Amino acid sequence: MDYSELTQVIRKLALEAGDKIMEIYNADDFDVKVKSDDSPVTEADEAADALISAGLRAAFPDVALVTEEQADSHDLDVSTFLIVDPLDGTKEFIKRRGDFTVNIALVEDGTPVRGVVYAPAKERMFYTLADGSTVEEMGPFDKDTAGEIKPIRVSDPDNSALMLVASKSHRDQATEDYIAKYATKDSKSAGSSLKFCLVATGEADLYPRVGRTMEWDTAAGQAVLHGAGGKVVRFDDHTPLTYGKDGFANPFFIAYAPGVELKKA
């Protein structure tokens, strides 16, 4: 894999998908359907999926591709694959709250190694460079030429006053019970994979997820966080969160800056 080419391709596709998503988001109305797992899907999810899938297949025809909207057709038995959530945070999109993202990542040997997370409504974009380090690009965004980029790095956390971020749509009692194990300065909520990015930039120290997620929800955010020096581990035994699992379902996990003194579940 040519990582320089990958960065250019996924950045451009994320921006193109973001334009399509915002076109639908800003319309007076849009269609919402319910998938077999009872989760919502909109025409924006489907349009972004088609655009990104076509672009990735054209650029990398020999690399396996997994996307949320085509998950039922995947029978994956490879260690390297591209994985896409064309619109992560569909509930936030439907409620017009802005906390939704386009996620595209490359997984190698079970680990997300490169990725892009673009939040079009918030005009924030994070991605890994060819060397694996992570940057935030400052807008306005040009699809063909990257603008000003700022290297990002996780915090050096103060364990007596941690900054936490948790899900906006899935913040339940189990999450609150785990957060209560830490000495916190503040806690904020965010939707979609933006939570990984807030840890990556040092805006938060810790993101525990005690709830259902799929690999396409987390791969790009994990790649972005890894490139900024962060870690993602399983909630139960603190071993690394890996990819290519049967059914693409994740266990509970914790994303954090390495200085955080993790508590047991």
* Interval 166-182 mean pLDDT: 83
> Are 118 and 86 a contacting pair, CB within 8 Å?
no
Is 114 inside a domain boundary? yes
- CATH number, position 216: 3.40.190.80
Is 10 inside a domain boundary? yes
Is 72 inside a domain boundary? yes
Is residue 37 scored above 70 in pLDDT? no
The reply, when asked if residue 98 is annotated as ligand binding, is no
Instruction: Say if residue 183 is in the same domain as residue 146.
Output: no
- CATH number, position 55: 3.30.540.10
pLDDT score at 62:
92
Q: For residues 98 and 89, give the distance between their C-alpha atoms in angstroms, rounded to a whole number.
A: 9
> Are 84 and 101 a contacting pair, CB within 8 Å?
no
Instruction: Say if residue 147 is in the same domain as residue 252.
Output: no
Instruction: Say if residue 147 is in the same domain as residue 241.
Output: no
pLDDT score at 167:
79
Reported as a pLDDT band with limits 50, 70 and 90, residue 30 is confident
> Are 65 and 115 a contacting pair, CB within 8 Å?
no
Is 57 inside a domain boundary? yes
What confidence tens digit (pLDDT) does each residue in 84-111 have? Answer: 999 998 888 888 888 899 999 999 999 9
Is 22 inside a domain boundary? yes
Instruction: Say if residue 42 is in the same domain as residue 78.
Output: yes
Instruction: Say if residue 30 is in the same domain as residue 105.
Output: yes
**How many structural domains are present in the chain?**
2
Is residue 41 scored above 90 in pLDDT? no
Dihedral sign (CA 230, 236, 239, 241):
negative
Reported as a pLDDT band with limits 50, 70 and 90, residue 71 is low
* Interval 196-221 mean pLDDT: 96
The reply, when asked if residue 88 is annotated as ligand binding, is yes
Is 46 inside a domain boundary? yes
Reported as a pLDDT band with limits 50, 70 and 90, residue 40 is low
Is 17 inside a domain boundary? yes
Give the DSSP letter string of 182-246: S-EEEEEEE-TTHHHHHHHTTS-SEEEE-S-EEHHHHHHHHHHHHHTT-EEEETTT-PBP-S--G
The reply, when asked if residue 68 is annotated as ligand binding, is yes
User: What is the SS3 string spanning 39-76?
Assistant: CEEEHHHHHHHHHHHHHHHHHCCCCEEEEHHHHHHCCC
The reply, when asked if residue 217 is annotated as ligand binding, is yes
Instruction: Say if residue 177 is in the same domain as residue 99.
Output: no
Instruction: Say if residue 139 is in the same domain as residue 169.
Output: no
Instruction: Say if residue 144 is in the same domain as residue 225.
Output: no
Is 223 inside a domain boundary? yes
pLDDT score at 204:
97
Q: For residues 113 and 30, give the distance between their C-alpha atoms in angstroms, rounded to a whole number.
A: 35
Last residue of a domain, one of 104, 120, 151: 151
Full residue range of the structural domain in which residue 237 is found: 162-256
pLDDT score at 123:
95
Q: For residues 7 and 85, give the distance between their C-alpha atoms in angstroms, rounded to a whole number.
A: 17
pLDDT score at 87:
94
> Are 63 and 81 a contacting pair, CB within 8 Å?
yes
- Angstrom CA distances, 21 to 64, 96, 203, 213, 250, stand at 25, 12, 26, 22, 26
The reply, when asked if residue 236 is annotated as ligand binding, is no
Instruction: Say if residue 105 is in the same domain as residue 184.
Output: no
* Interval 233-255 mean pLDDT: 95
Q: For residues 258 and 60, give the distance between their C-alpha atoms in angstroms, rounded to a whole number.
A: 34
Instruction: Say if residue 111 is in the same domain as residue 63.
Output: yes
pLDDT score at 97:
85
Instruction: Say if residue 39 is in the same domain as residue 138.
Output: yes
Is residue 38 scored above 70 in pLDDT? no
Q: For residues 120 and 133, give the distance between their C-alpha atoms in angstroms, rounded to a whole number.
A: 22
Instruction: Say if residue 109 is in the same domain as residue 130.
Output: yes
pLDDT score at 42:
78
Q: Give strand pairing partners of 2.
A: none
Q: For residues 189 and 94, give the distance between their C-alpha atoms in angstroms, rounded to a whole number.
A: 17
Name the pTM for this structure. Answer: 0.93
The reply, when asked if residue 106 is annotated as ligand binding, is no
The reply, when asked if residue 87 is annotated as ligand binding, is yes
Mean residue pLDDT across the chain: 91
